[in-house]
Amino acid sequence: MTGQKPGLRQILIAVFGAFVGVQSEQQRQQDFQAQSPLPYIIAGVVMTFVFVLTLVLIVRVVLA
């Protein structure tokens, strides 16, 4: 898979695996063989934003 662009699904699986802290060695190798880290960075920032927003909404609902 060297030099190939990762698909959206592969990027989301990789970023979710990083969030959870569980990822196979094969998946990690595929991630590091990607042409650019930019899609992973963007997906990570978006997922972090969604995670924080979800926590804020849960706290607001619980405290209401």
Is 36 part of any domain? yes
CB 39 within 8 A of CB 15: no
pLDDT for res 31 = 79
Is 3 part of any domain? no
Q: Where do we find the tokens 């959206």? A: 8
Work out the pLDDT band at 1, boundaries 50, 70, 90.
very low
Q: How many domains does the chain have?
A: 1
Enclosing domain of residue 35: 8-63
pLDDT for res 7 = 86
Is 51 part of any domain? yes
* pTM for this prediction: 0.75
Q: Where do we find the tokens 């979710």? A: 16
Q: Residue 3 above 70 pLDDT?
A: no
Is 2 part of any domain? no
Q: Where do we find the tokens 């405290």? A: 63
Task: Write out pLDDT tens, residues 25-63.
Answer: 888 888 788 788 898 899 999 999 999 999 999 999 999
Is 20 part of any domain? yes
CB 23 within 8 A of CB 14: yes
